[in-house]
Amino acid sequence: MPAQEPPGSIVSGSAETTDEALVGALARRDARALAELVRRHGGWAARFATRLTGSHETAEEVVQNAFLRVWNGAAQWQGRARFTTWFYRVVHNLAIDELRRRRRAHEELDEALEDPGPTPAEQLEHEQRGARVRAALDALPERQRVALVLSHYESLPQVEAAAIMGISEGALESLLSRGRAALRERLRGELH
């Protein structure tokens, strides 16, 4: 006979336990609730942070700090938005803060991220194309890049992407339009 969970505990992987309920359990310092939130949201948060910062190592640090904020701020969380919308915003803000810190540290840095250099000749064409697309995306102004990442890479609905960025849907559409045009110009002739 399987062991019974104690009453009121968070069951790992339970489809019945909402993210909001997990945050409530975090406020009571239930470490299993944090583990479940990390399991549910750590993967997409790391991809999102990597796309914003251009670095897996920086993204790991950003995501760890984001979950630390969730742990420390669970008691104050008011639940005005879905947990995922709020958590995207936390990861976004921490990633942007890290980019700004890096920019200050490299006084001459004109763009949020530098292209790390030419792709080695032995890499596959697919990897080279991906590097050119990432470099073009990194060269965009910060708000255009964030809008494109949320809408295209993360496939979020416009209303949610706009909420994460703290702007109207019309402003998001404008950022997307300008960002796409800039990417097309930068990548003209690169992609088939």
Query: Which region, left, alpha or beta, applies to residue 65 given φ > 0 means left and ψ of -120 to 50 means alpha?
Result: alpha
Structure tokens at 91: 């990861």
Q: 11-109 has which CATH code?
A: 1.10.1740.10
Q: Tell me which amino acid residue 139 is.
A: A
pLDDT confidence of residue 107: 54
pLDDT digits (tens, 9 = 90+) for 81-139: 788 888 899 999 999 988 888 877 765 544 444 555 554 554 467 677 777 878 888 88
**What is the helix, strand, coil percentage profile of the chain, to 5?**
70, 0, 30
Can you give the pLDDT at residue 106?
66
Confidence at residue 61, expressed as pLDDT on a 0 to 100 scale: 92
Q: pLDDT for 45-61, tens place per residue?
A: 999 999 988 889 999 99
Domain range list for the chain: 11-109, 118-187
CATH number of 118-187: 1.10.10.10
Angle at 46 between CA 177 and CA 117, to 5 degrees: 70
